[in-house]
Chains A and B, each alone.
Chain A
Amino acid sequence: MDLQAQQGLMSTYREAWRNRGVVGWVASAALVTFYCLLYWTDLFDGVSVAVGLRNKWYLYGLIYSIGMSAGAVYYLRRHGNSRYNQLRMAVNVSVQIALGWTLPFVMPLIGQPEFYFGYFWPLKYDYLYPHTLQSLPVYLAVYTVVGSLVVAPAATIFFGKRWYCSWVCGCGALANTFGDPWRHLTSPSTKAWRFEKIAIHSVMALAFLSLAVVVAGQLLNFKSDAFYQFSESVKSWYGFGISAVLAGVVGTGLYPLLGPRLWCRNFCPMAAMLGVIQKAGRFRIRVKPDMCISCGNCTTYCEMGIDVRSYAQSNQSFTRAACVGCGMCAHVCPRGVLRLENHFDDAADKQRQGLSAVDY
């Protein structure tokens, strides 16, 4: 049977491993160690070849897919009675297995480059570098440019950034599945929100600036060798600092301590860019007036640390740049106060609030 609301009760706070207990710290330390070994040693290359995978990134992709699938099972056991959650999980896992692992593995076998269809600039920071585009076949170069600069922003206007952050993106999907046990650890405090705004927009600015420098460097390298060298070092420092340290080691390594969307919320340049577009788009969370009982389930289970309750209890429908539209606030609300929607019809809204009910 199809029921929308959460079924049964959760025991989140009675499980120490989910509340920064010893197991949580150990798990976090293990994840951080794993990412350090993955990024900066050759340890996994040997293992990969031994199991028939070409390099450590395929092994990582395999582990990633397994972690996500196991997490999806956990997630669906807790929240799987809702159709939104069922569909979202199905898409997330399919995208990861098909676009995040199988295709990149198969393509080199048929003479094509290893390419990740699920990622776009600026998350995949090197996709718009002139040298990258030159190295790709035309159809992939077009896919990358049009996908990053046209399709992703346009889809965000219509559906909010959730179409990417909660349905397609591999980082988001891992957070929603493997990271789900710790989603309540994301801090909803005003302080955390202040940090988020500064941090994520700084990274977005860095992404734009570094792209500009690298593009200039790669296109103008014949004029100034020194500038080309500078642009190449910007490129590698950005890759090290943002992609390896913040997205991998910190972003995923600290799931069990600071919640699963640490990277998405505070550092992801793609999330920042789509968030700005989302504010001007059609996605919103609608609040039923005067029905909220301020229980706090929405705020607690928001993985982005949005204080959803503060909007619900003041009868304010809202669109927050950070919201990835996972739908959990609406799912756990015991009064059905919240609804995710793409509102196309402002006239109907006005009638809802206006005095005449005759016309709708």
Chain B
Amino acid sequence: MRYVIIGNGVAGMEAAVALRRRDEAGSITLISEESDHFFSRTALMYVVCGQLAHKDIEPLERDVYDRLRLQRVRARATAVDVERKAITLAGGLPEVPYDKLLICTGSRPRPAPFWDGYETLKGIGHLVTLQDLDWLHRELHGAAPFDAPERPTAHLPHSTSDSPYQPRSTATEARGRPPQSGTVIGGGLIGIESIEVMLAAGLKPSFLIREEWFWPIALDKTESAWVAEALRHHGVDVRLGHNVQGFEGDTHGVRTVHTDQGSLPAEVAVVAIGVVPQTGWLAGSAIERQHAGGILVDPSLRTSAPDVWAAGDCAAVRWADGSVRPEQLWYTGRDQGRIAAASMVGDDTTYRRGTLYNSAKLMDIEYTTAGLVNAGLEGEEEWFFEETGRVRSTTRLVTQGGAVVGFNALGRRWDHSLIVRWIEERRSLPWVLDHLHHARFDTEFVPPLVIPASARPTP
């Protein structure tokens, strides 16, 4: 049996490990243009600031490919011939035949209407790929990361010029000095990570957010105001309700960012307005996709083509609310990789996503969420508590028809798994508040959250 996986990311690697566990003899091949080694994309920011080295963000020891006999092809896949069961590679490399194929090509940055791309101005980029990491590190610190691998070009004699994995030159090199101003466009998680690495490099960047407050998909106005306060405390120029219109600069790179409310200096800019499925390369292949790009899959993650599966950010799966779209999360990528592998070896298995949950760190503020918040449910009500004093925290519970359906908390650590269960068990608000201390996950010696009777909901 010849298993081929396109994409060496979390879904692909998880699938490869699961396949090997089930099939001792089959050949397993991973095709990746980006990297020789599986790495944690969620950790890119830590390498940019120097908190971690390249090697630290690799979750498995490098000998895993040898130990599990996983072959690697470092190349860019350009099409799948589902009739002949073969994958075409860029640069005239020999085709890769498969018996069963898994597509895990993940996401690529969402194209920005206000930016023409790398060719026009130096100093502008994303923070999504290893090459972005290399670029931003050189932009901010004037040198490649501590243990950067050989420049990626060495591996990619056949890469195409439109590939997002092309290494790029920096404005810092052209200008002969590091940037003195920076900007980040896009009020989401990658945006705030980019802000943090710029702060760590000594810049006081501007943060250009189109919406009325930071990360409205996850936070309400009060919660977001705390994050904005933390940002401003560190010297970030937070600009809400700003629409970026374009960049201006010279041969040395970008100098200015123009918005609908004036211009700001920017000698380095990170565009972080989200990601879209990286499936454009399947345009000529007989594999059905959504209009937005997500590969359509059935509950066992099979695509429309025989013996072809898809998992991770590039696959459009059915959510708990019934909608069909990609789930761009780390743990869902892992789950999908595992389920796809089980389906590929013939298990009768289905991918079912229950209550959504997630966590993040926004500057220094920890964030935990579960269930439906900011969903605008019919008849929803909210209970909100702000703790001040030795510990600062916020807790927000959304109820609908008497049952808790959503949880959003900042400032403390919570065991989401219990809260998810309470939501699924349709617990009432008073019940959840009475039992909330069971879900504490604070470090030792942190005083517990005390909710005074006056702040409790009246029965």
Which residues between 1 and 49 of chain A lie within 8 Å of chain B, taking CB atoms?
1-15, 19
A interface footprint on B45-57 (CB within 8 Å = 1, 0 otherwise): 1100111110011
Is residue B425 contacting chain A, with contact meaning CB distance below 8 A?
yes
Is residue B40 contacting chain A, with contact meaning CB distance below 8 A?
yes
Q: Which residues of A contact B417 (CB under 8 A)?
A: 288-290, 352
Which residues between 284 and 332 of chain B lie within 8 Å of chain A, taking CB atoms?
330-331
Q: Which residues of B contact A300 (CB under 8 A)?
A: 52-53, 56
Expressed in whole angstroms, the minimum distance between the Cβ of B439 and any Cβ of chain A is: 10
A interface footprint on B349-364 (CB within 8 Å = 1, 0 otherwise): 0000000010111001
Is residue A212 contacting chain B, with contact meaning CB distance below 8 A?
no
Count class of interface residues, chain B: 35 or more
Q: Which residues of A contact B40 (CB under 8 A)?
A: 293-296
Which residues between 377 and 436 of chain B lie within 8 Å of chain A, taking CB atoms?
390-392, 411-418, 421-422, 425, 427, 435
Is residue B441 contacting chain A, with contact meaning CB distance below 8 A?
yes
**When the two chains form their complex, are residues B50 and A295 in contact, meaning their CB atoms are under 8 A apart?**
no
Max chain B CB contacts within 10 Å: which of A9, A15, A309, A313? A9
Flag the segment in B253-261, B263-271, B443-451 that touches A.
Answer: B443-451
Is residue B61 contacting chain A, with contact meaning CB distance below 8 A?
yes
**When the two chains form their complex, are residues A11 and B443 in contact, meaning their CB atoms are under 8 A apart?**
no
**When the two chains form their complex, are residues B359 and A335 in contact, meaning their CB atoms are under 8 A apart?**
yes
Which chain B residue shows the least CB distance to A88?
B445
Is residue B43 contacting chain A, with contact meaning CB distance below 8 A?
yes
Interface of A is mostly: loop
B interface footprint on A323-350 (CB within 8 Å = 1, 0 otherwise): 0000100110011100111000000100
**When the two chains form their complex, are residues B366 and A336 in contact, meaning their CB atoms are under 8 A apart?**
yes
Given contacts A11-B50, A82-B443, A291-B416, contact A336 B359 (CB under 8 A): yes
Is residue A87 contacting chain B, with contact meaning CB distance below 8 A?
yes
* Bound Cα distance from A111 to B285, whole angstroms: 91
**When the two chains form their complex, are residues B425 and A13 in contact, meaning their CB atoms are under 8 A apart?**
no
Which residues between 277 and 319 of chain A lie within 8 Å of chain B, taking CB atoms?
288-297, 299-300, 309-310, 313
Max chain B CB contacts within 10 Å: which of A7, A13, A83? A13
Count class of interface residues, chain A: 35 or more
**When the two chains form their complex, are residues B42 and A13 in contact, meaning their CB atoms are under 8 A apart?**
no
Task: Give which listed residue, B50, B331, B444, contacts A14 with CB less than 8 A.
Answer: B50
**When the two chains form their complex, are residues A84 and B445 in contact, meaning their CB atoms are under 8 A apart?**
yes
Is residue B79 contacting chain A, with contact meaning CB distance below 8 A?
no
Q: Which residues of B contact A293 (CB under 8 A)?
A: 40, 42-43, 330-331
Which chain A residue shows the least CB distance to B60?
A310
Given contacts A9-B197, A331-B443, contact A3 B411 (CB under 8 A): yes
Which residues between 122 and 159 of chain A lie within 8 Å of chain B, taking CB atoms?
none
**When the two chains form their complex, are residues B43 and A296 in contact, meaning their CB atoms are under 8 A apart?**
yes
**When the two chains form their complex, are residues A290 and B364 in contact, meaning their CB atoms are under 8 A apart?**
no
Q: Which residues of A contact B212 (CB under 8 A)?
A: none
**When the two chains form their complex, are residues A1 and B390 in contact, meaning their CB atoms are under 8 A apart?**
yes
**When the two chains form their complex, are residues A83 and B445 in contact, meaning their CB atoms are under 8 A apart?**
yes
Task: Give which listed residue, A7, A11, A84, A352, contacts B364 with CB less than 8 A.
Answer: A7
**When the two chains form their complex, are residues B49 and A334 in contact, meaning their CB atoms are under 8 A apart?**
no
* Bound Cα distance from A299 to B438, whole angstroms: 28
* Bound Cα distance from A44 to B56, whole angstroms: 42
Is residue B365 contacting chain A, with contact meaning CB distance below 8 A?
yes
Could you write out 17 A-B pairs with CB less than 8 Å apart? A2-B446, A7-B364, A9-B46, A10-B50, A13-B53, A14-B146, A84-B445, A190-B61, A291-B331, A293-B42, A294-B59, A295-B52, A299-B56, A331-B443, A336-B368, A339-B443, A357-B422
Interface residues of A (CB under 8 A from B): 1-15, 19, 81-84, 87, 184, 189-190, 288-297, 299-300, 309-310, 313, 327, 330-331, 334-336, 339-341, 348, 352, 357, 360
